[in-house]
Amino acid sequence: MRAVVYHGPGQKAWEEVPMPVIIDDTDAIVRVDATTICGTDLHILKGDVPAVTDGRILGHEAVGTVETIGTGVKNVKVGDRVLVSCVTACGACRYCRESSYGQCLGGGGWILGHKIDGTQAEYVRVPFADNSTYAVPDGVSDEQILMLADILPTGYEVGVLNGKVRPGDVVAVVGAGPIGLSAIMGARLYSPAHIIAIDLADSRLEAAKQFGADITINNGREDALAVVRELTGGLGADVAIEAVGVPDTFELATQLARPGGHIANIGVHGKPVTLHLEELWIRNITITTGLVDTYSTPTLLKLTQGHAIDAERFVTHHFTLDQFDEAYDVFARAADTGALKVVLTRS
């Protein structure tokens, strides 16, 4: 079969590799019907994630059809149409028992396209298949469901639920890339009074409006803190969500939150940040971080099926699997191409 194989920083190829085989009895082999590229894949290609080594197949998101199952797989059958989640779960460790699958101590967590071969391939081996795949409900398309592999639960769990968004809240989202848009879409489910999107690119702010923000701030031109304080009688936002991953945006998020407010960090950070505890110690704030656990996936599947979530809105470009080079290029040049999520399907 063919797959996107990593060959060190800056190097990848859509090349012939051996078919995956069952290793553990809880594995399933899934034929990939649709997959996508994540911002994290670009980080890997820059060499930022050293755990990914030469020869690794990339990708941690897929929708597919079960081809083979191990003898220990109970709830997934050959022929099932399934979502392959970015997080796999042993189901028995301390963290899995508390639904913190992302922190799995039993061999799961985020391993696909990271510590084991991933989903940007014609077939993929999925460990702990019972706990790591989800039956696709009727009436939804592959590309809708594909958005539930990573981006939607990440924005919802790490942004909205960690941030404890409530009806009537003012929610500020710093960064209107795909993850920020996912947080905006998820926040809408809780009927906040205002969702404020903050970004440097007007095109992203325009997208934020489509996803549900009612106020947008270009913080290259406008003073985001001043706008948010003006809107909130000087107090600040109830919830500030960081969806970029650099020190400046994190600091901005901590400033935007009102006393007693929540700051939910989703961004993947490569450097330390400065936390102004000399101002914040007295403000009763809560800061959360997190890798997605995917405990919300069943809920998001129901909401997608019922059209409360319009997952397709993320999909800006379509390719076939053999167009991976082009797809990576379009996705990497998002500022020019307007790419949010690119979908690759079997031709």
Could you identify the residue written with the tokens 């409360």? 308
Cα distance between residue 173 and residue 181, in whole Å: 9
DSSP calls for 307-328: TSS-GGGGEEEEEEGGGHHHHH
Cα distance between residue 246 and residue 249, in whole Å: 6
| Nearest to its own copies of 79, 272 (CB atom) | 272
Backbone angles phi, psi at 12, to 5 degrees: -150, 160
Q: Does 190 bind its own copies (CB under 8 A)?
A: yes
Which run of H or E residues covers position 230? Answer: helix 224-231
Give Cα 332 to chain centroid, integer Å: 16
Q: Does 23 bind its own copies (CB under 8 A)?
A: no
| Nearest to its own copies of 75, 210 (CB atom) | 75
| Nearest to its own copies of 97, 333 (CB atom) | 97
Tell which one of 13, 42, 130, 218 touches its own copies (CB under 8 A).
130
Question: If binding means CB under 8 A, how many residues of this protein chain bind its own copies?
Answer: 68
Q: Does 338 bind its own copies (CB under 8 A)?
A: no
First to last CA, the chain: 14
| Nearest to its own copies of 80, 293 (CB atom) | 293
We find the least distance from the C-beta atom of residue 266 to its own copies, in angstroms, to be 8
- Plot region of 88 (φ>0 → left; ψ -120 to 50 → alpha; else → beta): beta
Q: How many CA atoms lie within 13 A of 341 on its CB side?
A: 28
Give Cα 88 to chain centroid, integer Å: 14
Tell which one of 11, 21, 74, 325 touches its own copies (CB under 8 A).
74
Backbone angles phi, psi at 250, to 5 degrees: -65, -45
Q: Does 277 bind its own copies (CB under 8 A)?
A: yes
Q: Does 139 bind its own copies (CB under 8 A)?
A: no
Q: Does 44 bind its own copies (CB under 8 A)?
A: no
Cα distance between residue 25 and residue 128, in whole Å: 9
We find the least distance from the C-beta atom of residue 292 to its own copies, in angstroms, to be 10
Could you identify the residue written with the tokens 């009074």? 193
| Nearest to its own copies of 4, 185 (CB atom) | 185
Does residue 232 contact residue 170 with C-beta atoms inside 8 Å? yes
Q: Does 274 bind its own copies (CB under 8 A)?
A: yes
Segment interacting with its own copies (CB under 8 A) among 39-47, 201-209, 215-223, 290-298: 290-298
We find the least distance from the C-beta atom of residue 45 to its own copies, in angstroms, to be 19
**By the criterion CB under 8 A, which residues form the site for its own copies?**
25-26, 71-72, 74-75, 90-92, 94-95, 97-100, 102-103, 106, 130-131, 166-168, 188-191, 193-194, 245, 250, 259-260, 265, 267-278, 280-291, 293, 295, 298-300, 302-303, 305-306, 308
